[in-house]
Structure 1
Amino acid sequence: METVGIIGGSGFIGSYITRKFLEEGYEVKVSVTNIHKSEKYQHLFDLKNSENLNIRAFKLEDLDPLKDFIEDCGIVIHSGTPFQLDVKDPQAELFNPTIQGTQNFLEAINKSSNIKKVVFIASVAAWNTNFPMPAGGKSFTDTFDEKEVRYTSKDSHPYSQAKFIANQVVEKFISDNPELPFEICSVSPVMVMGKSLSNREDSTSTGLQFLIKNKIAPDEFIQRLYDNNVPFAVVDVEDVAIATYKAATTKGLHSKDYLLTSETYKVWDIHQMLNHREPQEKAKVIYKNDLAKMDLEIQFKPVKETLRSYSEEIT
Structure 2
Amino acid sequence: MTSDSFVPEGSTVLVTGGTGFIGAHCIQILLEQGFNVKAAARSQEKADQMAQVFDKYKNQLSFGIIEDITDYNSLVNLVKGCTAILHLASPYTYAVNDFKKELLDPALKGTLTILEAANQEKSIKRIVITSSFAAVFDATKGLQPGVALTERDFSPLTYEDGIKTSDPAVAYRASKIVSERAAWDFVKDKRPAFDIVVLCPPMVYGPLVSTKTLKSLDQLNFSNSTIWNMATSGSNSSVPPTKGPVFVDVRDLAYAHYQSLVVPEASNQRFMVSAGVFSNQEICDALREQLSPARAKKVPVGTPNKILDPEHFTTDSTKAIEVLGMSFRPVNEPVVDLVNQLYDFLG
- For normalisation by structure 2, the TM-score amounts to 0.79
Corresponding residue for residue 293 of structure 1: 321
Corresponding residue for residue 5 of structure 2: none
Distance 1:97 1:303, change over 3 A: same
- Rounded to whole Å, the distance in 1 between the matches of 2:243 and 2:170 is 16
- Rounded to whole Å, the distance in 1 between the matches of 2:89 and 2:33 is 22
Give, in angstroms, the shift of residue 198 of structure 1.
3.8
- Rounded to whole Å, the distance in 2 between the matches of 1:215 and 1:286 is 28
- Among 177, 198, 201, the residue aligned to 1:189: 201
Distance 1:43 1:164, change over 3 A: farther
Alpha-carbon contact 2:11-2:35 (below 8 Å) kept: yes
**One-letter code of the match for 2:251?**
E
- Among 28, 42, 49, the residue aligned to 2:57: 49
Matched, 1:174 2:187: yes
Give, in angstroms, the shift of residue 282 of structure 1.
5.8
- Provide, for residues 247-278 of structure 1, a one-character-per-residue CA deviation record: whole Å limited to 9, x for no partner: 11111323211111112112233234344469
Give, in angstroms, the shift of residue 93 of structure 1.
2.3
1:54 alignment partner, SS class: strand
Distance 1:56 1:229, change over 3 A: closer
The percent identity for this pair of structures is 23
Corresponding residue for residue 143 of structure 1: 148
- Rounded to whole Å, the distance in 2 between the matches of 1:262 and 1:57 is 34
Corresponding residue for residue 74 of structure 2: 65
Give, in angstroms, the shift of residue 129 of structure 1.
5.7
- Provide, for residues 168-203 of structure 1, a one-character-per-residue CA deviation record: whole Å limited to 9, x for no partner: 1111112213x4322111111111000012434142
Alpha-carbon contact 1:136-1:151 (below 8 Å) kept: no
1:273 alignment partner, SS class: helix
- Rounded to whole Å, the distance in 2 between the matches of 1:36 and 1:231 is 33
- Rounded to whole Å, the distance in 1 between the matches of 2:142 and 2:46 is 45
- Rounded to whole Å, the distance in 2 between the matches of 1:274 and 1:100 is 41
Matched, 1:213 2:231: yes
- Among 278, 282, 287, the residue aligned to 1:269: 282
- For normalisation by structure 1, the TM-score amounts to 0.86
Alpha-carbon contact 2:275-2:317 (below 8 Å) kept: yes
> How many equivalent residue pairs?
301
- Rounded to whole Å, the distance in 2 between the matches of 1:197 and 1:112 is 31
- Rounded to whole Å, the distance in 1 between the matches of 2:176 and 2:244 is 21
Alpha-carbon contact 2:136-2:150 (below 8 Å) kept: no
Q: Which sections of structure 1, spanning at least 5 residues, go unmatched?
A: 217-222
Alpha-carbon contact 2:203-2:244 (below 8 Å) kept: no
Give, in angstroms, the shift of residue 37 of structure 1.
3.9
**How is 1:18-167 mapped onto 2 (pairs within 5 angstroms)?**
18-38=27-47, 41-46=50-55, 48-58=56-66, 59-128=68-137, 130=139, 136=141, 138-152=143-157, 154=161, 156-167=169-180
Computing the radius of gyration from Cα coordinates, the structure with the larger value is 2
- Rounded to whole Å, the distance in 1 between the matches of 2:101 and 2:232 is 31
2:315 alignment partner, SS class: coil
- Rounded to whole Å, the distance in 2 between the matches of 1:233 and 1:137 is 15
Give, in angstroms, the shift of residue 85 of structure 1.
2.6
- Among 296, 308, 315, the residue aligned to 2:336: 308
Distance 1:37 1:7, change over 3 A: closer
Matched, 1:237 2:250: yes
- Rounded to whole Å, the distance in 1 between the matches of 2:138 and 2:47 is 33
Alpha-carbon contact 1:12-1:205 (below 8 Å) kept: no
Distance 1:92 1:149, change over 3 A: closer
- Among 17, 25, 35, the residue aligned to 1:8: 17
- Rounded to whole Å, the distance in 1 between the matches of 2:103 and 2:154 is 24
Corresponding residue for residue 253 of structure 1: 266
Give, in angstroms, the shift of residue 5 of structure 1.
0.7
Give, in angstroms, the shift of residue 120 of structure 1.
0.4
Cα RMSD of the aligned pairs, angstroms, is 2.6
- Rounded to whole Å, the distance in 2 between the matches of 1:114 and 1:273 is 47
* More displaced stretch, 278-287 vs 94-103: 278-287
Corresponding residue for residue 4 of structure 2: none
Alpha-carbon contact 2:144-2:313 (below 8 Å) kept: no
Q: Which sections of structure 2, spanning at least 5 residues, go unmatched?
A: 1-9, 291-300
- Provide, for residues 133-182 of structure 1, a one-character-per-residue CA deviation record: whole Å limited to 9, x for no partner: xx6255244221123343438454322211111111111112213x4322
1:298 alignment partner, SS class: coil
